[in-house]
Amino acid sequence: MTALVTGSAGGIGSSIVRKLVSEGFEVKELDLVNGFDVSDPEAWEHIGSVDLACLNAGVITGDDGQLTELTDDQYRRALRVNVDGVVFGVRRLDRVMPRGSTIVVTASLAGLTAIPDDPIYGLTKHAVVGFVRSVAPQLAERGIRIQAVCPGWADTGLTTNGFRDELKERGFRLLSPEEVAEGVWAAYRSEGTGEAWIVQPGREPLLYEFKGVPGPR
């Protein structure tokens, strides 16, 4: 079995790689540190077929999340990595993956709820969750499943010391990268598609139940 992991050099990415290797996968690691830019559509054109693709690369917007202080570069970078990196990846993988294969996208709990600390990050993760749910039927026609994993804040390089301390002061318990990797594995092992799997400290990975919207009267 073969797999790829984007953002593989980060805390969550490296934990996903270790989990997949322990389960017998041969894993291709894709990260900016080894020259792979998920936001570059041309880079994706050199990626071949795998049985499992974990689209995990992501960035937060800035130090304080204040919209008035947001620069154009910060905004565009968040969109390029968090949204373009998923869309370009899924587009390429849809063309080359075999029937029975799976794509798992690392979204965030910020894609299911408000995140006043970083509204642009919330925007990108809501986009990712919506994209996964909406593209799933197209992929299913070709025998490919796609899932989203939505962890809470994890103790990784993205969480600066100051923000980490602030979260702890506010009563947040940080996830370990290994817990997120287990959530990715649970989403992969599920038989569903277009799902969102919540990962929270002290809980087993949990399938999120979208309530839907009221119909017309």
CA distance 200 to 180: 9
- DSSP reduced 3-state for 151: strand
CA distance 1 to 187: 17
Catalytic residue among 75, 121, 188, 211: 121
Active site residue 125: yes
Active site residue 19: no
**Cβ neighbours, 10 Å, residue 80:** 17
The residue type at 169: E
Q: What is the CA radius of gyration of the chain?
A: 17
Catalytic residue among 28, 75, 125, 208: 125
State the distance between the two ends of the chain, measured CA to CA, in whole angstroms: 50
What DSSP assignment string belongs to 81-98?
IIIIHHHHHHHHHHHHPP
Query: Could you list the active site residues?
Result: 121, 125
